[in-house]
């Protein structure tokens, strides 16, 4: 019997009230979304029956689970399927994982605040966003197996149970693997809507919280893992763009005729912000890019100098006019009026670049009739339907197929779609042929979208006993939500708090960068706390203990980190430890780092990092460790080395020779992570490590030298400047005394 | 355009490309050996590390004209039949990669290190691997994987 006839003969239909039908085929529970024209109805249907969209089961027992999230190294290719397989009671050794179709109505997550479901891998929200959904879908898949076996064996479903990939009837001694049930699969009229009670007791978990090797690692060590940049298709051509040195500048190509005459040049596409070139080979496209003669008409950032603008920010900080209020608790003004002592400090941070190792790229093929398109891309997905491709091509979303590939790093940059829509526009010029667009590293850096530069002015008040009574935080810079995240101090008992954002816009392209505003904001807050502690003669740990008196989960991470790092133990000669606490994406974490400083060169050496976190249920402990290690190393890179500067509107760096990243010579001896056991809903971990670094290093530096690092990054030149300055922190942390 | 012949992963490969074309584009776009990655194009990141006569080189700064068919070029695809080179196995054991993009280059560099120095100290590893960037921050696990591979190799002897 050939597979297709078998499939047809055993296909079963599930009638539903809306008259839609889902089918269960011989190869399992198939998503039919792509074969049905009415996407709205499918969306409605599948929100009721999501299970059918999540898994395929074949007769040999192989189980294919769909991962709806991007895989950029954060482990979604394992974590989400683990959750599903746990509830399905599947045999993990039979599981393979593939990306789900990029159909957000079916595979999207609610809770992004949009009117519809959204597929988006950002904000460390993949596990937290899909945890309940994957558990329920897994439980429903298990229920279908049980239901089908009950029918087959003509026994009540209540007498059956499952045991790692098998359905069993203990009393009658019946047993069948899930694969053996496949020919008899039948979806019940009504699928139970499993609530927490119907799901596994976490005490019985055998995959969640255990050591499960990441599914995609073998292909990442043999070179076969496919990133979008690796796509090769028949008849494929290559595109590059020459963009202006000043963002937003409009090009006028002066040597169009001679470029078109060059061998292998297929197309020139003038765009608003660039000249696009399509050529037969990549090397030809890159060669042509160098030969373009372009006049650039003013851009949005002309005349901007990033180093000088801090003076402007300071003027804004002095102004009495209020900014956009970000948080307001109690009455800060009153707290300051009745303070025994007040403190003020400014903190600055420069622009930083994502530097994901795979430069941006995409492959798009527009059909010869221009009515449909196919896209191969590494993307963090996003709010734009089908990554904005339908819109730029003027075709309906269902005419666009997105083939998600592994991401060679995301960090927020790949939640933009600029590189995808650029490629679509180029592909439209050569319908029928796949077009691979490559951003060179120089393109990727100079036309980056950076974490915004800011000035932060913080002030605090204390009462006669040294308790912090008020905290005021003013952020000056560009970026809205990008600078506002991490402003709240929900785990510190500070009765009066105020935070505002004063906008100063420069037209610089900005974007979420791992942990967004948390890194600069928590740096400022945590360093102010240690400045106060130093001035008051209080141990930074003791200060935070007091502040966390009403936040037991936060306090537990603090105590744990103190033990791990032997906070109260003797200091190694020439070294000091620094402390930081923060909440990011729902995860609470405390870190301690140990540093030393070369007083000749100004180079900071990080020796150890210890961190304790409470992230709710830990789905993959080893992966949480990996994320903390990676997040901390990326944090160290940005804090110690990275700085984008802009002069006369032009980015001054271009590649890794002048935008250095942390290299192996600078890694700490260890990064240790401990997770507080919890049965709470899982929270995001991917961005917890990064923002801890600036605070922990600066606080260690303060304890080591008595001096404060107030401007990110802490490059050797800046460190030397601080070391050689006369002021000790004690003098300028407490700037005024009232009463 | 000119024809070039190379010995890549013990196979004779012929390509016709423009003079001066980078070996990286030849490997990736002409021959489909896409395990070798483009990261910077200026030998600063190591994502394109391959072996030429068993020595680690950056494919992005080698051009077709600078190589002969007598030189043995090895890419990640040619390191082992089934992804089971001892270094690759150690990499899996340490669960080293995150996004994975730089890992082919890291592995090729690490294999060369262990060929030269079967028992590298931590400092030796840091120094030899310093040219290979990883943005995800997998360095600690790379060190662990190299130490594992070294230990496993010695255990076999």
Q: Which of A225, A281, A637 is nearest residue B100 as measured by Cβ atoms?
A: A225
Whether ipTM > 0.85 holds is yes
Burial bucket for residue B147 (CB in 10 Å: 0-12, 13-18, 19+): middle
pLDDT class for A42, splitting at 50, 70, 90?
A: very low
* Beta pairing class for A161-162 and A166-169: antiparallel
The partner residues of A376 in beta bridges, in order of sequence, read A363, A403
Tally the C-alpha atoms within 13 A of residue A134's C-alpha that lie toward its C-beta.
Answer: 27
- Count Cβ neighbours within 10 Å for each residue of A402-435 and write b for 16 or more, e otherwise: bebbbbbbbbbbbbbbbbbbbbbbbbbbbeebbb
Q: How far is CA A254 from CA A262, A269, A270, A291, A313, in A?
A: 15, 13, 11, 11, 40
Q: How far is residue A439's CA from residue A361's CA, in Å, rounded to a whole number?
A: 6
B chain contacts of residue A661, beta-carbon cutoff 8 Å: 133, 135
pLDDT class for B154, splitting at 50, 70, 90?
A: confident
Q: How far is residue A302's CA from residue A395's CA, in Å, rounded to a whole number?
A: 36
Q: How big is chain B by its Cα radius of gyration, in Å?
A: 16
Q: Is A412 on the interface with B (CB under 8 A)?
A: no
Q: How far is residue A303's CA from residue A316's CA, in Å, rounded to a whole number?
A: 20
Instruction: Take residue A478 and report the two structure tokens written for it.
Output: 């560009």
Per-residue pLDDT at A708 exceeds 50: yes
Instruction: Collapse the DSSP code of A406 into the 3-class scheme (helix H, G, I; strand E, B; otherwise coil) and give the result.
Output: strand
pLDDT class for A32, splitting at 50, 70, 90?
A: very low
Q: Which of A194-208, A572-586, A620-634 has the lowest mean pLDDT?
A: A194-208
For the sheet with A576-584, list strands across it.
Answer: A576-584, A587-597, A604-614, A670-675
Contact indicator for B51, B74 with CB cutoff of 8 Å: yes
pLDDT of residue A186: 78
Query: What does the pLDDT look like over A421-447, one tens digit per residue?
Result: 999 999 999 999 999 999 999 999 999
pLDDT of residue A113: 76
A chain contacts of residue B127, beta-carbon cutoff 8 Å: 665
Element housing A610 (H / E)? strand A604-614
> What backbone phi and psi angles, to 5 degrees, belong to B13?
-125, 135
Q: How far is residue A712's CA from residue A697's CA, in Å, rounded to a whole number?
A: 11
pLDDT class for A736, splitting at 50, 70, 90?
A: very low
Q: Which of B36, B130, B135 is nearest residue A355 as measured by Cβ atoms?
A: B135
Q: Which of A217, A622, A630 is nearest residue B92 as measured by Cβ atoms?
A: A217
Q: How far is residue A51's CA from residue A65's CA, in Å, rounded to a whole number?
A: 10
Contact indicator for A77, A97 with CB cutoff of 8 Å: yes
Tally the C-alpha atoms within 13 A of residue A217's C-alpha that lie toward its C-beta.
Answer: 21
In chain A, the percentage of residues whose pLDDT exceeds 70 is 91
To the nearest whole Å, the CA of A107 is away from the closest chain B CA by 22
Q: Name which of A173, A582, A413, A396 is nearest B135 in CA terms.
A: A413
Query: What does the pLDDT look like over A93-107, one tens digit per residue?
Result: 999 999 988 888 778
- Count Cβ neighbours within 10 Å for each residue of A557-591 and write b for 16 or more, e otherwise: bbbbbbebbebeeeeeeebbbbbbbbbbbbbbbbb
Query: What does the pLDDT look like over A513-550, one tens digit per residue?
Result: 999 999 999 999 999 999 999 999 999 999 999 999 99
DSSP string computed for A274-289 = EEEEEESSHHHHHHHH
Please list, in sequence order, all residues whose beta carbon lies within 8 angstroms of the beta carbon of residue A533, skipping any fewer than 6 positions away.
Answer: A539, A540, A542, A543
Average pLDDT over residues A27-44: 39
pLDDT class for A728, splitting at 50, 70, 90?
A: low
Tell me what percent of chain A is helix, strand and coil, each rounded to the nearest 5: 35, 25, 40
Check A358 against B35: CB less than 8 A apart. Answer: no
Per-residue pLDDT at A353 exceeds 70: yes
Interface of A with B in 350-379 (CB under 8 A): 355-359
Instruction: Collapse the DSSP code of A515 into the 3-class scheme (helix H, G, I; strand E, B; otherwise coil) and give the result.
Output: coil
To the nearest whole Å, the CA of A230 is away from the closest chain B CA by 6
Instruction: Take residue A726 and report the two structure tokens written for it.
Output: 């006369």
**pLDDT mean across residues, chain A:** 90
Q: Which domains does chain A have, with CATH numbers?
A: 7-220 (3.30.365.10), 228-299+360-438 (3.30.365.10), 309-351+450-723 (3.30.365.10)
Q: Mutate which of A223, A378, A629 to test chain B, going by most B C-beta atoms within 10 A?
A: A223
pLDDT of residue A1: 29
Contact indicator for A122, A513 with CB cutoff of 8 Å: no
Please list, in sequence order, all residues whose beta carbon lies within 8 angstroms of the beta carbon of residue A295, skipping any fewer than 6 positions away.
Answer: A251, A252, A254
* Beta pairing class for B72-74 and A646-647: unpaired
Q: Is A215 on the interface with B (CB under 8 A)?
A: no
pLDDT class for B40, splitting at 50, 70, 90?
A: very high
Give CA A412 to chain center in angstroms: 6
Per-residue pLDDT at B15 exceeds 90: yes
To the nearest whole Å, the CA of B11 is away from the closest chain A CA by 18
Q: Which residue of A has its CA nearest to B83?
A: A222
pLDDT class for B125, splitting at 50, 70, 90?
A: very high
**pTM for the whole structure:** 0.94
Check B77 against A358: CB less than 8 A apart. Answer: no
Name the region of A357 (left: φ>0; alpha: ψ -120 to 50; beta: rest).
alpha
Query: What does the pLDDT look like over B68-89, one tens digit per residue?
Result: 999 999 999 999 999 999 999 9
DSSP string computed for A349-384 = E-BB----SS--EEEEEE-TTSS-EEEEE---B-SS
Q: Which domains does chain B have, with CATH numbers?
A: 2-78 (3.10.20.30), 86-156 (1.10.150.120)
Q: How far is residue A464's CA from residue A459's CA, in Å, rounded to a whole number?
A: 17
């Amino acid at each position: 019997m050939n597979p297709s006839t078998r499939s047809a003969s055993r296909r079963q239909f599930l009638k539903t009230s809306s008259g839609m039908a889902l089918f269960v085929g011989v190869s399992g529970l198939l998503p039919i979304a792509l074969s049905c024209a009415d996407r709205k109805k499918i969306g409605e249907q599948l929100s009721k029956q999501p299970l059918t969209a999540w898994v395929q089961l074949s007769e040999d027992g192989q189980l294919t689970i769909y991962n709806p999230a991007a895989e950029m190294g954060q482990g979604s290719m394992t974590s989400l399927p683990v959750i599903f397989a746990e509830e399905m009671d599947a045999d993990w050794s039979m599981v393979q994982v593939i990306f789900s179709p990029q159909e957000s109505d079916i595979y999207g997550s609610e809770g992004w605040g949009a009117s519809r479901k959204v597929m988006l891998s950002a904000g460390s929200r993949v596990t937290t966003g899909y945890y309940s959904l994957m558990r329920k879908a897994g439980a429903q898949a298990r229920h279908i197996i049980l239901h089908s076996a009950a029918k087959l064996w003509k026994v009540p479903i209540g007498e059956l149970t499952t045991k790692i990939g098998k359905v069993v009837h203990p009393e009658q001694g019946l047993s069948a693997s899930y694969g053996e049930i496949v020919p008899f699969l039948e979806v019940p009229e009504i699928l139970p809507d499993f609530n927490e009670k119907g799901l596994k007791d976490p005490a019985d978990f055998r995959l969640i919280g255990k050591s499960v090797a990441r599914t995609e690692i073998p292909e990442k060590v043999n070179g076969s893992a496919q990133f979008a940049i690796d796509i090769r298709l028949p008849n494929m051509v290559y595109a590059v763009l020459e963009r202006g040195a000043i963002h937003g500048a409009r090009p006028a190509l002066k040597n169009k005729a001679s470029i078109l005459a060059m061998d292998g040049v297929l197309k020139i596409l003038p765009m608003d912000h660039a000249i696009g070139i399509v050529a037969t080979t990549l090397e030809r496209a890159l060669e042509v890019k160098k030969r373009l003669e372009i006049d650039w008409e003013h851009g949005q950032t002309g005349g901007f100098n990033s180093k000088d603008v801090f003076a402007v920010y300071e003027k804004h900080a002095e102004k009495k006019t209020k900014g956009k209020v970000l948080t307001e608790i109690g009455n800060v003004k009153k707290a300051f009026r009745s303070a025994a002592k007040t403190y003020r400090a400014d903190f600055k941070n420069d622009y930083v670049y994502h530097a994901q190792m795979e430069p941006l790229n995409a492959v798009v093929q527009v059909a010869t009739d221009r009515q449909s398109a196919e896209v191969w891309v590494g993307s963090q997905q996003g709010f734009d339907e089908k990554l904005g491709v339908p819109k730029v091509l003027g075709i309906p979303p269902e005419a666009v197929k997105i083939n998600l590939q592994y991401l060679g790093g995301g960090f927020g940059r790949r939640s933009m779609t600029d590189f995808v829509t650029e490629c679509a526009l180029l592909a439209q010029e050569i319908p029928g042929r796949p077009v691979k667009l490559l951003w060179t590293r120089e393109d990727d850096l100079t036309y980056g979208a950076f974490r915004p530069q800011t000035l932060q002015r913080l002030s605090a008040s204390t009462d006669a006993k040294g308790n912090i009574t008020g905290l005021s935080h003013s952020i000056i810079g560009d970026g809205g939500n990008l600078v506002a995240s991490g402003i709240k101090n929900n785990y510190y008992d500070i009765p009066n708090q105020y935070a505002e954002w004063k906008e100063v816009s420069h037209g610089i392209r900005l974007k979420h960068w791992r942990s967004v505003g948390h890194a600069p904001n928590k740096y400022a807050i945590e360093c102010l706390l240690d400045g106060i502690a130093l001035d008051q003669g209080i141990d930074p740990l003791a200060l935070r203990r007091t502040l966390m008196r009403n936040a037991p989960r936060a306090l537990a991470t603090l105590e744990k980190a103190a033990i791990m790092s032997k906070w109260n133990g003797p200091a190694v000669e020439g070294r000091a430890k620094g402390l930081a606490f923060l909440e990011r994406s729902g995860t609470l974490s405390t870190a301690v780092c140990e540093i030393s400083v070369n007083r000749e060169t100004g180079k900071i050496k990080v020796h150890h990092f210890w961190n304790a976190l409470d992230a709710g249920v830990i789905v993959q402990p080893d992966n949480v460790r990996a994320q903390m290690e990676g997040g901390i190393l990326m944090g160290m890179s940005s804090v110690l080395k990275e700085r984008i500067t802009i002069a006369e509107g032009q980015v001054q760096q271009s590649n890794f020779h002048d935008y250095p990243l942390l290299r192996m010579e600078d890694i700490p001896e260890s990064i240790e992570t401990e997770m507080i056991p919890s049965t709470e809903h899982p929270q995001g971990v991917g961005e917890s490590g990064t923002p801890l670094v600036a605070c922990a290093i600066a606080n260690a530096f303060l304890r080591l030298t008595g001096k404060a690092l107030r401007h990110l990054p802490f490059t050797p030149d800046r460190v030397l400047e601080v070391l050689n300055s006369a002021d000790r922190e004690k003098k300028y942390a407490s700037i005024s005394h009232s009463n | 355009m000119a024809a070039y012949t190379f010995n890549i992963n013990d196979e004779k490969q012929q390509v016709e490309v423009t003079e001066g074309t980078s070996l990286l584009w030849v490997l990736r776009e002409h021959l489909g050996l896409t395990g070798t990655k483009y990261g910077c194009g200026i030998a600063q990141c190591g994502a394109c590390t391959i072996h030429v006569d068993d020595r680690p080189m950056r494919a992005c700064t080698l051009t077709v004209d600078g190589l002969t068919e007598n030189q043995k070029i090895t890419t990640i695809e040619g390191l082992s039949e089934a992804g089971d080179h001892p270094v690759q196995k150690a990499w899996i054991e340490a669960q080293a990669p995150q996004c994975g993009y730089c890992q082919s280059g890291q592995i090729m560099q690490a294999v060369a290190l262990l060929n030269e120095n079967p028992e590298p100290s931590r400092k030796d590893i840091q120094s030899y691997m310093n040219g290979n960037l990883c943005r995800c921050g997998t360095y600690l696990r790379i060190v662990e994987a190299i130490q594992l591979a070294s230990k496993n190799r010695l255990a076999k002897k």
